[in-house]
Structure 1
């Protein structure tokens, strides 16, 4: 079927090994129903006659191995059927990982640790979701790690996170985010503070090693790691650092032969580096779309994907909290104290004076119990946004997912801002 713009109700009959791709129009919603046959979305199997609703801007690919009948209701920017899909290659990759899991379980060793890399907009997150869903469907509980600080799938932008995946992602809601481990980074690109980024990646790797030693099922189920799209220069160094920190044995490179050859050259001999094609349905996103996506992820944190959550608003006295920012402006070497390195400023914990400049910034609630605690490597308990400041009363108003009081008193300020217009 040729590419078209859906205006209402459309029926699509897919042959075996084909894919229905559609994008929901701005300001619209689309309902999808599997009327007949079997199909899946990013590895999650669809239920016959269940209506799934997708919101504006959603980009969806429905794949069928044996053929199916799909009904779409609503306005789409584009909707078409394609037989040009790498799904067979992706499922073969899953089968290879599955063999590694069986060997790990049989010999009580560690399962596959997979680093998914590639430039922006090649489908890294989609492939991670696919491999995780297939692993769970086979009875495993893999660990999902997301170090893409700009478009993070586990927490909000400006963070790194990890969680154990025990059930397939819901078609509409995604993975169940039960007690994820999240670290504050505070920027939307590793380039803004590579020193801090690598420290947090190393810390995440240490914790995952410890947890996998404690939880045998997750140990042989393995780890799937999603990365950002920064693959040149310092970004390439960050990829190599992540490969070492997570002790990976498989690196999947999506759609870039140059990166594949560089990693083949630089990775240890025991690491398998494989090159996979991207899906033809992957859409490139410009800077505005990326910014909108970040705003949407923050909004979902407070209000839910379908406005099903009701955040709290309350005042907090200045005296009850301490706000810090990680990283200080660079200084020339001649201005630094004797013995201090120029890179040390990137990990400096700098106090922030409460005033108008902190308004609308995302604040991470640190698990650190005091200023003497290692704030840099303390995980985040949650996030708030300062929506208003009363200098006369010495109080500020926050948007919070939980009622007062705040669980801890140390807040870390992110560069990322969010304007609540609810």
Structure 2
């Protein structure tokens, strides 16, 4: 089956959102012109609260696989990115960046394109096999800040550009995909992503100018899967069941395959390789891609790759770290999560939303707090026969949730609305239930025993379990 590789003859460009950012329309900035030669890229880092715009005026260029439309302005705020061109282009740039330069060392783009070509060949073979054919299932692994998410976003965008419908699964709870942080998200893409918002914004938070996505979202209110590895494994088993069912339901998605992004915390061979093995098994991974860690490549190749010498071996590919991959420190990630939370309730600058206020009594709520490893350590410090036992002592050992009364400690935090009932429910059902939406705790009045929530929708959610955790962090200035 013949196909056209992105950047080498594919010319259809999606519409880009061009409305200026009203929140950051600040002082005038000088517009400058930047010419890029073929196979070079414009790398830039923009701080939060700053307006930075890029407009393609001539030639072709793309941002993580998504083509820029000629004459359309792309706005960036709190962003680290790179505009790449295969054949050369001219850009108009306005605004101040913390760093910006033309990069000549872009060999990674050719590597990534070769991976796309390999995946497309496997998809064509699956398509030829009809209903029995299954597309490639790829797991991308490596340390933090090596370009894993950029690779996955590029592979997904290129797949869409040649007519595929790849399914993307994000296993890194530190950064949201179609939702705030603190969750696991799976979504099937059948149309191009937006150059500014990436995969877009989930329709549960209101109308969007970009294509509507229907993600499958599960709450994981921790910064890493390693905080509760046993519970994370159980959740992954449930997620794999539903993702596999989703692929089986649509032939195009089944043939297009699965792309999985993993957190850098799974790079530790002492504590995380067991989790990787579970992911590989549950999602029936067919290809492993490693970036930025020679040790990890050799470890995985020895454990899962061709060196096993049996018919269950999985190809392990090693890609070089892109020169533009930069670290996003803890402060940047915290600001990014706050921005994601703000956009969920109030919308992006080009599609502002007005969230709805709900005042609810304590007795109407079923709130479950996500326990931390330190909670388990505290419980273990109290043995039977002691004078004092902590609240919730009826919880079983290793319990992930405990039912709690509303308190002022919840103010400014995020709560996940689960599809399951809030009363008479097993812990496993709370853990495995998908997320209906999110609530922001605007105020807790312990005297009147009422909680004021912000929600994207005016309707009440009824008898649903609400999950509250320490991650993502509370955002105190969301409501002024």
3-state SS in 2 of match to 1:169: coil
TM-score by length of 2: 0.81
Q: Which residues of 2 match residues 332-371 of structure 1 at below 5 A?
A: 332=380, 335=383, 345-369=397-421, 370-371=423-424
- How far did 1:361 drift? 2.5
- How far did 1:11 drift? 1.2
1:334, 1:26 → 2: CA distance? 46
Please tell me whether the aligned partners of residues 364 and 414 of structure 1 are also in contact (alpha carbons under 8 angstroms): no
Please tell me whether the aligned partners of residues 65 and 155 of structure 2 are also in contact (alpha carbons under 8 angstroms): yes
Pairing partner for 2:288 from 251, 276, 279: 251
1:244, 1:274 → 2: CA distance? 18
Aligned partner of 2:323 in structure 1 is 280
Please tell me whether the aligned partners of residues 314 and 397 of structure 1 are also in contact (alpha carbons under 8 angstroms): yes
Pairing partner for 2:234 from 199, 205, 215: 199
Asked if 1:162 is matched to 2:186, the reply is yes
Aligned partner of 1:210 in structure 2 is 245
Asked if 1:131 is matched to 2:155, the reply is yes
2:402, 2:49 → 1: CA distance? 42
List runs of 5+ in structure 1 lacking aligned partners: 1-6, 337-342
List runs of 5+ in structure 2 lacking aligned partners: 1-28, 203-212, 306-311, 385-394
> Cα RMSD between the aligned structures?
2.2
Pairing partner for 2:376 from 326, 329, 333: 329
Pairing partner for 2:302 from 235, 242, 265: 265
TM-score by length of 1: 0.92
1:380, 1:41 → 2: CA distance? 30
Aligned partner of 1:150 in structure 2 is 174
2:418, 2:83 → 1: CA distance? 40
- How far did 1:392 drift? 2.5
Please tell me whether the aligned partners of residues 147 and 201 of structure 1 are also in contact (alpha carbons under 8 angstroms): no
3-state SS in 1 of match to 2:232: helix
- How far did 1:60 drift? 2.1
Larger fraction in strand: 1
- How far did 1:346 drift? 3.4
1:154, 1:202 → 2: CA distance? 21
What number of residue pairs does the alignment pair up? 411
Please tell me whether the aligned partners of residues 442 and 452 of structure 2 are also in contact (alpha carbons under 8 angstroms): yes
3-state SS in 2 of match to 1:33: strand
- CA displacement, residues 209-260 of structure 1 (integer Å, 9 cap, x when unaligned): 1121121110110001111111103223222221112111111111111011
3-state SS in 1 of match to 2:150: helix
Please tell me whether the aligned partners of residues 196 and 346 of structure 1 are also in contact (alpha carbons under 8 angstroms): no
- CA displacement, residues 20-71 of structure 1 (integer Å, 9 cap, x when unaligned): 111224432112111111111110011111111112x212211111111111
Please tell me whether the aligned partners of residues 389 and 396 of structure 1 are also in contact (alpha carbons under 8 angstroms): yes
Aligned partner of 2:215 in structure 1 is 180
Please tell me whether the aligned partners of residues 122 and 279 of structure 1 are also in contact (alpha carbons under 8 angstroms): yes
Asked if 1:112 is matched to 2:147, the reply is no
- How far did 1:174 drift? 1.7
Aligned partner of 1:52 in structure 2 is 74
2:181, 2:47 → 1: CA distance? 24
